Amino acid sequence: MVVDKSTTTNALEQFVVLAKSAKGAACVELVKQALEAPGVYVFGELLDSPNVADLLNTHKIYLSTLNLFAYGTYKDYLANPQDFMQLSPAQKKKLQHLTIVTLATKSKCIPYDVLLKELEIKNVRDLEDLIIEAIYADIIHGKLDQKNSQLEVDYAIGRDIRPEDINTIVNCLQDWSSACDKVLHCVESQICRANSEKSSAMLRQLEIEQEIVNIKKTLKTQLQERSDGTDELMVVDSREAASSGDKGKKGQKVAKGLKILR
């Protein structure tokens, strides 16, 4: 799930600039306009403005409402309506949209029953219309799963972070960083082991190739020696055969001589 606040932050810039010079009632009016303005869904920079912070002493209810839109939900508003300014229809719808964003950042699939309860809506048709408006406003991306009565979320913008939640986020990031370091160390160990095994395998391959070369040389030498020995044997045999032939002829002559004497 991708979270991006750049678009809504850009829409807020004009109000942040105006807040530098707006005080008292003018600042209250500025807050009302920001809460109703299309495309403005984050309010952290406006809350950081000194003139807006001064509303705590003069117009606390408007500062509380701005905090509600920054961090709260529609259910928070219904729980204590006296703590906040009366919302216009556009402001009420925006707070409901922000409530959907909050739910979307916690779960990829949000049942209709949960949405109906959180948004204080009586029927599914009105709920689906509100969700479609939030999708067109580009603060969430997803689809309506009417078969399973749920909203499937693919994307949601990020909402403002309460100052007291920063330490929790920092701890989460540190834990995530530590986990990444452990995984990286494990990967590096595996790489070293793989390289070592590769080097051993290459060395063994070279040894085998050398053994093959030595065996070939030995076989070649043995074959050469056998070939030389066979040639010598053939010469000896031929000589012996020739000698035997001469002796045979002499024997035949002697035998003929004996016959004549008889």
- C-alpha 153/C-alpha 261 separation (Å) is 133
- C-alpha 15/C-alpha 30 separation (Å) is 7
Q: How confident is the model at residue 1 (pLDDT cuts 50, 70, 90)?
A: very low
Q: Is residue 246 over pLDDT 60?
A: no
Read off the pLDDT of residues 186-200 as tens digits, 9 standing for 90 and up. 999 999 999 999 999
Q: How confident is the model at residue 129 (pLDDT cuts 50, 70, 90)?
A: very high
Q: Is residue 126 over pLDDT 90?
A: yes
Q: Is residue 102 over pLDDT 60?
A: yes
Q: Which residues contact 261 (CB under 8 A, 6 or more apart)?
A: none
Read off the pLDDT of residues 218-235 as tens digits, 9 standing for 90 and up. 998 888 888 876 656 565
Average pLDDT over residues 124-138: 95
Q: What per-residue confidence (pLDDT) applies to 164?
A: 82
Q: How confident is the model at residue 2 (pLDDT cuts 50, 70, 90)?
A: very low
> What are 173's two structure tokens?
């990031």
106-133 residues labelled b (16+ CB within 10 A) or e (exposed): eeeebebeebbebbebeeeeebbebbee
* Mean pLDDT of the residues in the chain: 86
Domain ranges across the chain = 6-160, 163-235
Q: How confident is the model at residue 241 (pLDDT cuts 50, 70, 90)?
A: low
Query: For residue 43, which of 24, 56, 30 has the smallest C-alpha distance?
Result: 30
DSSP string, 7-47: HHHHHHHHHHHHHTT--THHHHHHHHHHHHSTT----HHHH
Average pLDDT over residues 39-62: 93
Q: Is residue 113 over pLDDT 50?
A: yes
Q: Is residue 4 over pLDDT 50?
A: no
- pTM for this structure? 0.67
Q: What per-residue confidence (pLDDT) applies to 244?
A: 59
Q: Is residue 215 over pLDDT 70?
A: yes
Q: Which residue has the tokens 């117009």?
A: 59
User: pLDDT > 90: what percent of the chain?
Assistant: 66
Q: Is residue 57 over pLDDT 80?
A: yes
Q: What per-residue confidence (pLDDT) applies to 253?
A: 54
- C-alpha 6/C-alpha 158 separation (Å) is 9
Q: Which residue has the higher pLDDT, 170 or 2?
A: 170
Q: What per-residue confidence (pLDDT) applies to 208?
A: 94
- 8 Å CB contact between 121 and 115: yes
Q: What per-residue confidence (pLDDT) applies to 222?
A: 87
- C-alpha 195/C-alpha 28 separation (Å) is 67
